[in-house]
Structure 1
Amino acid sequence: MKSLSVFASALVALTLLANPLAAKSDEHKKPAFNASWPKGRVTGFPIPRFVSLRSERANMRVGPSTDYPTKWVYSARGLPMEITEEYGNWRRVRDQDGATGWMLAPLLSSKRTAVVGPWLDRPAALNERPRPKARMIARLSPKVRLDILDCDGNWCRVSLRDRHLSGFIDQTLLWGVYPGEVID
């Protein structure tokens, strides 16, 4: 577990070093995180940040201890969550509907996922290419879960969970990715 943490720290450091260079060469691709971004008290990773549920079943608690009552029980592996605070082995998280509470860190994964914007009142286009006028592959209803393959700051290449379908979606239509965030 410690070697995974060291690897993740190195990966974050490399990303922070590489993204400013990418931003200089292509101004529309701005990194979501930079050196001035607040860091978690425990991990040193950026706060806030998106993660996903690792576990098939995860309890969100009122406070950072098993002594606190369960607020919600999630049974959707891969659901994106936003970490907003760290306390020991606990992470304060927020879900796509705005519910907040505390989860044990081992229940969370750094694997990036997203949902089609819960705020949308119509389906979002999954395109063949990262362009507004590209051929549409599918219409995705709000809250459909997606695996993030990469994002360029404007478009994300995604795959539909448990299906053999992938394409591009406008990054602003996703919850689980920050505006302008570049994911490689």
Structure 2
Amino acid sequence: MFSRQIIPAVAAIGCVLCAALSGVAASAQTSETPYWASISVSKVYMRVGPSMNYPIEWVYQREGLPVKVLRVNEGWRYVEDPDGMRGWMAARMLARTRAAIVIGEGAAEIKGEGNASAPLRWRVEPGVVGELGECTDSWCEFSVGGHHGFIEAERLWGDGEP
């Protein structure tokens, strides 16, 4: 008699747990798109479709590179890179950590504060990837290799609304 009562109770608890966990997984899959992400590993493949069965179009070896997530399909994300290339990456290779890449011509100035008259701290070349902090007005907090400062937002790809 005791086992007849326990088995249905355990089954009911299992069903409740499965339902709760599937709700969490579903909410993770339905993130509002577009949104910013960054490559979280040292090597990731961009594929032509959302599966390991699709051919590799590009190989990225740039941890921290920002990407714009345009669509979500189960464990895959349709992304756009800073050069405008689009394709599918495995979601587990991406992080929601905000990053940005320096764009434009010539070196960009990193200032001590978010304004043009602030003292110059250092310069960064186009292609430098860093951690993106808060952006206000036309300036963004930007950190590279432990160095921190402010850069004009127009010199970044990965800031603002995706």
- The interval holding the TM-score normalised by the smaller chain is 0.7 to 0.9
- Percentage of identical aligned residues: 34
RMSD of equivalent CA atoms: 2.2
Equivalent-residue separation in structure 1 for 2:121 and 2:102 (angstroms): 15
Q: Structure 1 length normalisation: TM-score?
A: 0.70
Higher deviation after alignment, 44-53 or 122-131: 44-53
Which of 101, 104, 107 is matched with 1:115 structurally? Answer: 101
Give 4+ residue runs of structure 1 displaced > 4 Å after superposition. Answer: none
Whichever residue aligns with residue 135 of structure 1, its letter is P
Secondary structure of the 1:178 match is coil
Q: CA deviation at 1:153?
A: 4.6
Residues 142-157 of structure 1 correspond to what in structure 2 (within 5 A)?
142-157=126-141
Q: Structure 2 length normalisation: TM-score?
A: 0.79
Per residue, is there more strand in 1 or in 2? 2
Which of 8, 15, 30 is matched with 1:44 structurally? Answer: 30
Structure 2 regions of 5+ residues with no counterpart? 1-19
Per residue, is there more helix in 1 or in 2? 2
Q: CA deviation at 1:177?
A: 1.0
Equivalent-residue separation in structure 1 for 2:141 and 2:158 (angstroms): 13
Structure 1 regions of 5+ residues with no counterpart? 10-41
In structure 1, the residue matched to 2:92 is 106
Which of 36, 40, 51 is matched with 1:54 structurally? Answer: 40
Residues 91-102 of structure 1 correspond to what in structure 2 (within 5 A)?
91-102=77-88
Q: CA deviation at 1:57?
A: 1.1
Q: Is the 8 A contact 2:29 2:74 kept in 1?
A: no
Q: Is the 8 A contact 2:67 2:81 kept in 1?
A: yes
Bigger radius of gyration, 1 or 2?
2
In structure 1, the residue matched to 2:153 is 171
In structure 2, the residue matched to 1:72 is 58
Equivalent-residue separation in structure 2 for 1:64 and 1:156 (angstroms): 33
In structure 2, the residue matched to 1:141 is 125
Aligned residue pair count: 140
